[in-house]
Chains A and B, each alone.
Chain A
Amino acid sequence: MKNDFRKMEDEMDRLATNMAVITDFSARISATLQDRHERITKLAGVHALLRKLQFLFELPSRLTKCVELGAYGQAVRYQGRAQAVLQQYQHLPSFRAIQDDCQVITARLAQQLRQRFREGGSGAPEQAECVELLLALGEPAEELCEEFLAHARGRLEEELRSLEAELGPSPPAPDVLEFTDHGGSGFVGGLCQVAAAYQELFAAQGPAGAERLAAFARELGSRYFALVERRLAQEQGGGDNSLLVRALDRFHRRLRAPGALLAAAGLAEAATEIVERVARERLGHHLQGLRAAFLGCLTDVRQALAAPRVAGKEGPGLAELLANVASSILSHIKASLAAVHLFTAKEVSFSNKPYFRGEFCSQGVREGLIVGFIRSMCQTAQSFCDSPGEKGGATPPALLLLLSRLCLDYETATISYILTLTDEQFLVQDQFPVTPVSTLCAEARETARRLLTHYVKVQGLVISQMLRKSVETRDWLSTLEPRNVRAVMKRVVEDTTAIDVQVGLLYEEGVRKAQSSDSSKRTFSVYSSSRQQGRYAPSYTPSAPMDTNLLSNIQKLFSERIDVFSPVEFNKVSVLTGIIKISLKTLLECVRLRTFGRFGLQQVQVDCHFLQLYLWRFVADEELVHLLLDEVVASAALRCPDPVPMEPSVVEVICERG
């Protein structure tokens, strides 16, 4: 074993020695080969350099070839590769020459690229390539941006021009939907492409580049909007909202893409603004339409009222006219509501904008359109009350009556109906204050009241004038013994009856004070009322102040003040009472200005009795007619130097004879 180990050790030593010898040999060989190796390496380096040099020397021709072949990409790549070296060794004359050549060629290349870029026929992707290559050639980016945009501008302006041509000075232009479609696909589509390409190419340009694009989009966009607005303005007169809303929808929808792409340009906001403006204008248009419809209704009513009555064949009655007017206006309102409702339809792209969810519904539709219309209706109606021709000739009384009833109906039902309808259709959900129904109703009621009051005044005046003329033009001193009721009194009763019928068509009867059934039997005698006697008894003998006061107090007990123009209530009796009060008060004042002979007084007696016979049934409190007619007769008696009244029975006979 030990031997074995020793042997092994010896062998190991021998091996070591061998190895050393081998190493030595190897080193020697290496040393011998070293020189050659170095030379080979050097040769390889020279070869590479030579190839590079060859490339460089061939570069101009290659570039030329590439340019000639149109392989611009290749050319740009070569140029890129050589650029640095040439730059480095440009101090060597031979390289300098190459560089100069290359520069010339590159310039030509760039020129050709630009040329291609400018020609533009090749479409956007290729253009983008051109830009890319030009950028790679180290052309200044800003200049390229400008050029790119200028080029895009050219194309977009063409789109705009074609749109403008469609706008045309004269119809037939394509309808608004077609127009916005063209604009959308042509201009807006183009703009989108340009923006996308720009952003892709010039992303490296940072905010300055983006700003340039935004300014570009803003400028062209505003020109586009101007055209769209001009087109939309042409639609203002039209009645068809659905087409308009669809067009607006397209318009708005198409602008969402560039809007998202170019938030800075504010295109989407501007588009929304345009849509809002159009919506507002539509509301105004509908308000005008409603007003015009109302005025049209009034004209129709006037014509119907003025139309000569064919004997035996009644024209449409007042109630019918009223129903026509009311239903016509209501249907107009509903049509308008339906038309503007399109703006808020769910499928419409702009309906979820805050304006259309809030302000449009509350301020626009509810306040502007509906409340505005009702107000204007009231105003129009009221304007009939202060027509300058105060003699009432301008406005037929029946129209006043009809309008008054219309306003009253609005107060009681229609307004709340319309507003409920509006609120349901346009879910109002903003904080703007809206006119409460009660306020509007109060306005309508006030209008109705003023109209009815005016009606009373006008009709009262008509009858007053008859009575007045009849008193003023007659010679009451030398009149003959009365045999008949004067024709004018019959006329008064006839007219009052006609008014009663007219008012009855539109207004309810009203409450009448219960009276003795026999009031028509009451006959006028001059001294029938004890009050009159006391009142006008001469008190020339100056009495003590005590007595005077007492007397006046007693008078106060008996007389109650009659308000000639007391507020009119909305019923027939109240209206008639007003008219009769005005008429009889006029009669009284006129009588007091005349002097009567005995027969004159008797004639007044007869006339008043006749009026009493027929007028009491029209008024709320027949005592009122008694009082006024009493006063008329008493005043006539006072204005008569020789007051011998007619026997009541005779008065009755004359009156019954008619």
Chain B
Amino acid sequence: CFPDTVLIYTLSTARALTPQTAETDAIRFLVGTQSLKYDNQIHIIDFDDENNIINKNVLLHQAGEIWHISASPADRGVLATCYNRTSDSKVLTCAAVWRMPKELESGSHESPDDSSSTAQTLELLCHLDNTAHSNMACVVWEPMGDGKKIISLADNHILLWDLQESSSQAVLASSASLGGKGQLKFTSGRWSPHHNCTQVATANDTTLRGWDTRTMSQIYCIENAHGQLVRDLDFNPNKQYYLASCGDDCKVKFWDTRNVTEPVKTLEEHSHWVWNVRYNHSHDQLVLTGSSDSRVILSNMVSISSEPFGHLVDDDDISDQEDHRSEEKSKEPLQDNVIATYEEHEDSVYAVDWSSADPWLFASLSYDGRLVINRVPRALKYHILL
């Protein structure tokens, strides 16, 4: 048995983190570095659950410093990055789709010492053409799709791309843009796994908006969702109208998009901007948040989860006696609470995410390049499962 925490891996300044979404067996995260002076890299972090050790591989990302990274849900080898390119005293944020070398897709378990000499390069599949639109804030893949549809957010535009010819060509399928006064700028977006993947939610300034990808029209709008800038949002994977958002007002809010006047629930545990919020993919009561107060907080939002009365066990699996007991358990009112506050970071935490392979494991990344891998506390895990 290993302790619930902590594996720390330090790289350079970084703020981009994603699980390798298409990978469902191995615990693997991709981290993009952010450096103006050195070649940027993507670190493929493999966590060996059995031996509790980390293996890593490094890929060169010479295009520029990475601000955002996301992995294809269909192809383990494909990922997208948003990166800065500085030229002629201008900063351009571009987006591109990449393929990693085949042998790294499933991680390599060579000794880490050797890999330095053999830093490999990413293969560029296509640019998400940025001649018309600059400042790509993020790229999101259609969840559970075939990895052919992505959406990118650029300034005040929301762009839907079709990846063709084995992702070597990105065709702008449709787009929409925010109208209105002032410089509107998307900060973040997520693609809903519900409604046949036809909905996307975006954040700009203090507003949350829902979009229908078929018509690229706005479905709902939550004005002043947060007192200050909204940094991130995430869809509840099991409850189709629920989403979580977080922002500079230090709050995490949970919304039912059918009633946008009031949040369903508000958390105020962080003491500075909350940069990231993520639902657990399997047990949506587990909500992870990362903040520039250097803390990662794991909350148990059981009252608004899809399992408000605890885990519902299939009838086949249990005998009558157990059935009776589980009924008893289900009657206890379950309280929302903070499960744990993780303080391993010393700088602002800009990214947190769950592993795509192991629902009980998550990673967090702070600006100083420290990647921390934690497990959900064992007691809670058994409480949820049993």
Within the complex, which residue of B36, B224, B250 is in contact with A641, where a contact is CB–CB below 8 Å? B36
**Which A residue sits closest to B58, measured CB to CB?**
A542
B116 contacts A542, CB within 8 Å? yes
- Does A592 lie at the interface of the complex (its beta carbon under 8 Å from any beta carbon of B)? yes
CB neighbours of B116 from chain A (8 A): 541-542
A477 contacts B11, CB within 8 Å? no
**Which A residue sits closest to B262, measured CB to CB?**
A388
- Does A111 lie at the interface of the complex (its beta carbon under 8 Å from any beta carbon of B)? no
CB neighbours of A541 from chain B (8 A): 116
Q: What per-residue 1/0 map shows which CB atoms of A591-630 lie under 8 Å from chain B?
A: 0100101000000000000000000000000000000000
CB neighbours of A589 from chain B (8 A): 273, 292, 348
CB neighbours of B249 from chain A (8 A): 390
Question: Would you give the shortest CB distance from A134 to chain B, in whole angstroms?
Answer: 76
- Does A196 lie at the interface of the complex (its beta carbon under 8 Å from any beta carbon of B)? no
- Does A576 lie at the interface of the complex (its beta carbon under 8 Å from any beta carbon of B)? no
- Does B299 lie at the interface of the complex (its beta carbon under 8 Å from any beta carbon of A)? no
A390 contacts B227, CB within 8 Å? yes
Query: Considering the chains assembled together, what is the distance between the CA atoms of A552 and B372 in angstroms?
Result: 12
CB neighbours of B300 from chain A (8 A): none
- Does A5 lie at the interface of the complex (its beta carbon under 8 Å from any beta carbon of B)? no
Query: Considering the chains assembled together, what is the distance between the CA atoms of A391 and B228 in angstroms?
Result: 8
A540 contacts B348, CB within 8 Å? no
Most buried by B among A542, A589, A597, A638: A542
B346 contacts A556, CB within 8 Å? yes
**Which A residue sits closest to B12, measured CB to CB?**
A538
A477 contacts B91, CB within 8 Å? yes
Question: Would you give the shortest CB distance from B249 to chain A, in whole angstroms?
Answer: 6
B272 contacts A585, CB within 8 Å? yes
Question: Would you give the shortest CB distance from B39 to chain A, in whole angstroms?
Answer: 8
CB neighbours of B174 from chain A (8 A): none
A595 contacts B273, CB within 8 Å? no
Question: Would you give the shortest CB distance from B349 to chain A, in whole angstroms?
Answer: 12
B294 contacts A552, CB within 8 Å? no
B228 contacts A548, CB within 8 Å? no
B10 contacts A548, CB within 8 Å? yes
Question: Would you give the shortest CB distance from B8 to chain A, in whole angstroms?
Answer: 6
- Does A561 lie at the interface of the complex (its beta carbon under 8 Å from any beta carbon of B)? yes
- Does B190 lie at the interface of the complex (its beta carbon under 8 Å from any beta carbon of A)? no
B13 contacts A638, CB within 8 Å? yes
- Does A3 lie at the interface of the complex (its beta carbon under 8 Å from any beta carbon of B)? no
Query: Considering the chains assembled together, what is the distance between the CA atoms of A559 and B37 in angstroms?
Result: 24
CB neighbours of A595 from chain B (8 A): 36, 84, 86, 91
Query: Considering the chains assembled together, what is the distance between the CA atoms of A597 and B91 in angstroms?
Result: 11
Which B residues from 1 to 50 make CB contacts under 8 A with A?
8-13, 35-38, 41
**Which B residue sits closest to A465, measured CB to CB?**
B228
Tell whether A540 pairs with B41 under 8 Å between CB atoms, given A552-B370, A589-B292: yes
Question: Would you give the shortest CB distance from A629 to chain B, in whole angstroms?
Answer: 16
- Does A639 lie at the interface of the complex (its beta carbon under 8 Å from any beta carbon of B)? yes
CB neighbours of B112 from chain A (8 A): 542
CB neighbours of B91 from chain A (8 A): 477, 595
Within the complex, which residue of B36, B113, B271 is in contact with A565, where a contact is CB–CB below 8 Å? B271
- Does A432 lie at the interface of the complex (its beta carbon under 8 Å from any beta carbon of B)? no
Query: Considering the chains assembled together, what is the distance between the CA atoms of A565 and B293 in angstroms?
Result: 9
CB neighbours of B250 from chain A (8 A): 565
Interface of A is mostly: loop
**Which A residue sits closest to B84, measured CB to CB?**
A595
A536 contacts B271, CB within 8 Å? no
- Does A535 lie at the interface of the complex (its beta carbon under 8 Å from any beta carbon of B)? yes
Within the complex, which residue of A545, A556, A565, A641 is in contact with B272, where a contact is CB–CB below 8 Å? A565
Tell whether A539 pairs with B12 under 8 Å between CB atoms, given A478-B89, A555-B368: yes
**Which B residue sits closest to A561, measured CB to CB?**
B294
B346 contacts A542, CB within 8 Å? no
CB neighbours of A545 from chain B (8 A): 54
A561 contacts B346, CB within 8 Å? yes
- Does A551 lie at the interface of the complex (its beta carbon under 8 Å from any beta carbon of B)? yes
CB neighbours of A548 from chain B (8 A): 8-10
- Does B367 lie at the interface of the complex (its beta carbon under 8 Å from any beta carbon of A)? yes
CB neighbours of B370 from chain A (8 A): 552
Tell whether A391 pairs with B227 under 8 Å between CB atoms, given A564-B271, A641-B86: yes
CB neighbours of B115 from chain A (8 A): 542
- Does A288 lie at the interface of the complex (its beta carbon under 8 Å from any beta carbon of B)? no
- Does B90 lie at the interface of the complex (its beta carbon under 8 Å from any beta carbon of A)? yes
B8 contacts A552, CB within 8 Å? yes
Question: Would you give the shortest CB distance from B137 to chain A, in whole angstroms?
Answer: 11
Within the complex, which residue of B35, B84, B226 is in contact with A538, where a contact is CB–CB below 8 Å? B35
CB neighbours of A639 from chain B (8 A): 36
Question: Would you give the shortest CB distance from B312 to chain A, in whole angstroms?
Answer: 36
B89 contacts A477, CB within 8 Å? yes
- Does B68 lie at the interface of the complex (its beta carbon under 8 Å from any beta carbon of A)? no
Query: Considering the chains assembled together, what is the distance between the CA atoms of A538 and B249 in angstroms?
Result: 32
- Does B56 lie at the interface of the complex (its beta carbon under 8 Å from any beta carbon of A)? yes
Which A residues from 538 to 583 make CB contacts under 8 A with B?
538-542, 544-545, 548-549, 551-552, 555-556, 559, 561, 563-566
**Which A residue sits closest to B91, measured CB to CB?**
A595
Question: Would you give the shortest CB distance from B302 to chain A, in whole angstroms?
Answer: 24
Tell whether A563 pairs with B271 under 8 Å between CB atoms, given A539-B12, A541-B116: yes
CB neighbours of A477 from chain B (8 A): 86, 89-91
Query: Considering the chains assembled together, what is the distance between the CA atoms of A544 and B56 in angstroms?
Result: 12
Tell whether A535 pairs with B368 under 8 Å between CB atoms, given A542-B112, A589-B273: yes
A540 contacts B38, CB within 8 Å? yes
Within the complex, which residue of B90, B273, B368 is in contact with A536, where a contact is CB–CB below 8 Å? B368
Query: Considering the chains assembled together, what is the distance between the CA atoms of A535 and B54 in angstroms?
Result: 22
Q: What per-residue 1/0 map shows which CB atoms of B213-230 lie under 8 Å from chain A?
A: 000000000001011100
CB neighbours of B13 from chain A (8 A): 536, 638
Question: Would you give the shortest CB distance from A593 to chain B, in whole angstroms?
Answer: 9
Query: Considering the chains assembled together, what is the distance between the CA atoms of A390 and B8 in angstroms?
Result: 37
Within the complex, which residue of B54, B224, B272, B346 is in contact with A564, where a contact is CB–CB below 8 Å? B272
Question: Would you give the shortest CB distance from B223 to chain A, in whole angstroms?
Answer: 12
11 pairs, A vs B, C-beta closer than 8 Å: A390-B226, A390-B228, A535-B368, A536-B368, A539-B11, A539-B369, A561-B294, A564-B292, A589-B273, A595-B86, A639-B36
Contact surface of A with B, Cβ cutoff 8 Å: 390-391, 461, 477-478, 535-536, 538-542, 544-545, 548-549, 551-552, 555-556, 559, 561, 563-566, 585, 589, 592, 595, 597, 638-641
